[in-house]
Amino acid sequence: MNVRNVVLALVGAALVALPFVYREPYHIHILILILIWAFAYTSWSMMGRFGLVSLGHGGFMGVGAYVTALLWNHLGVSPWLGIPLAMATAAVLAVIVGYPCFRFRITGHYFVLVTLALSGIVLQVITATRDYTGGSLGYTPNRARSGSGLMALQFDDKTTWYLIALGVWVCGLLIWRWVDRSMDRYALEAISEDEDAAAAAGVNVTAEKLKITVISALMTALAGALYCQYQMFISPDTVSGIAVSLQMVFAVIVGGLYVSLGPTVGAIVTIMLAEVLRIGFGTKAVGWDNLVYGVLLVLFIIFLPKGILGSILERVRGAKRA
């Protein structure tokens, strides 16, 4: 076993043991949010790193959260079944939107606008069907009707949720690594450079783009469902719409688009920034996080285009070469 594997094993053991050693509820709560959002940001980076800039992921996350909650509240479908159904719904939505775009070579800013419309449509549907979704007032999954909350995927113990969030976050990193080491990565990189040349070389452009889009949509819907089950309250502003999509873009760019842990760094920045504003300014700072995101995004694009983690790794590699 090499040094890298030993370090990974020690870090993994420390992360698993953390909630059993340190039991401060608020801090564990923040860690859970960071892990869930890091998974969501990782799902966006699956597409973004290959030039597929999507502003529709707020829609996928909203579908994951609301479909799971609605199935449980109105039909009594357990989230253990509702979450896969919500993920399947998001995947179908990704195919409906993505296939025509990829088939007819809708790329660049046109693709961004199509995905932007997707987020807007999902947001409007949630708001318009307020008799079922609660609209802009938000929506709360029913509490477990009897017995254990296991069937309802509801746990009062934050340690349980921390371990669930940690496991999902690790799965996200493994999926990112799997894509990074597969032949799909080279196909998608070729497509991002020149679609015509990639097609001439035998790459099925539509299939490759659609594959990574569906994977990303599935992961994002799962993040939305888990966020819903953990917080036990969702609203269009927190899990859907354009603002959530822009938050994902900001976090990934700030953390590092081309590094597996970049989205996690971005999650730490966004969650801590939101908490600092909430604690420091209260209701006076409502909406300030989006303003700060915008300013920081411009600064990072100009001065740190590779993000925090990407820039650090680049300097380390440069120091080693020297």
Q: Break the chain into its structural domains and give their ranges.
A: 25-241
Per-residue pLDDT of the chain (322 residues; tens, 9 = 90+): 577 778 888 888 999 999 999 889 999 999 999 999 999 999 999 999 999 999 999 999 999 999 999 999 999 899 999 999 999 999 999 999 999 999 999 988 899 999 999 999 999 999 999 999 999 899 999 987 654 578 889 988 899 999 999 999 999 999 999 999 998 899 999 999 999 899 998 999 999 999 999 999 999 999 999 999 999 999 998 898 888 998 899 899 989 889 999 999 999 999 988 888 777 776 666 667 677 777 877 787 787 777 888 778 777 777 767 6
pLDDT given at position 41: 97
**Residues near 238 by Cβ (< 8 Å), separated by ≥ 6?**
138, 227, 231, 244
pLDDT given at position 318: 72
Residue type, position 40, single letter: A
CA dihedral 44, 48, 53, 56 (to 10 degrees): -10
pLDDT given at position 262: 93
Question: Are the CB atoms for 308 and 256 separated by under 8 Å?
Answer: yes
Question: Are the CB atoms for 241 and 134 separated by under 8 Å?
Answer: no
Enter the tokens of residue 1.
């076993």
Torsions phi, psi for 142 (to 5 deg): -65, 145
pLDDT given at position 88: 97
pLDDT given at position 148: 57
Question: Could you tell me the CA-to-CA distances from 52 to 69, 113, 241, 246, 321 in Å, in that order?
Answer: 30, 12, 18, 14, 32
pLDDT given at position 216: 97
Enter the tokens of residue 257.
């688009």
Which secondary structure element, helix H or strand E, spans residue 23, and what is its range? none
pLDDT given at position 284: 66
Residue keyed to tokens 């991002």: 192
Backbone Cα Rg of the chain:
20
Question: Are the CB atoms for 270 and 251 separated by under 8 Å?
Answer: yes
| Region for 235 from its dihedrals, namely left if φ exceeds 0, alpha if ψ lies in -120 to 50, beta otherwise | beta
Question: Are the CB atoms for 239 and 62 separated by under 8 Å?
Answer: yes
Alpha-carbon distance of 124 to 245, in angstroms, equals 15
pLDDT given at position 143: 85
| Region for 233 from its dihedrals, namely left if φ exceeds 0, alpha if ψ lies in -120 to 50, beta otherwise | beta
pTM metric for this prediction:
0.93
Q: How many CB atoms lie within 10 A of CB 267?
A: 26
Give the ranges where the chain is alpha helix by DSSP (H). Answer: 3-21, 25-48, 57-75, 79-103, 108-128, 130-133, 158-180, 183-193, 195-200, 205-231, 236-239, 241-255, 262-281, 288-303, 307-321
pLDDT given at position 95: 96
Can you tell me whether residue 261 is helix, strand or coil? coil
Beta bridge partners of 139: 234
Question: Are the CB atoms for 212 and 50 separated by under 8 Å?
Answer: yes
Alpha-carbon distance of 310 to 322, in angstroms, equals 18
Best CA proximity match to 54, nearest among 111, 92, 95: 111
Alpha-carbon distance of 80 to 72, in angstroms, equals 10
Alpha-carbon distance of 199 to 206, in angstroms, equals 9
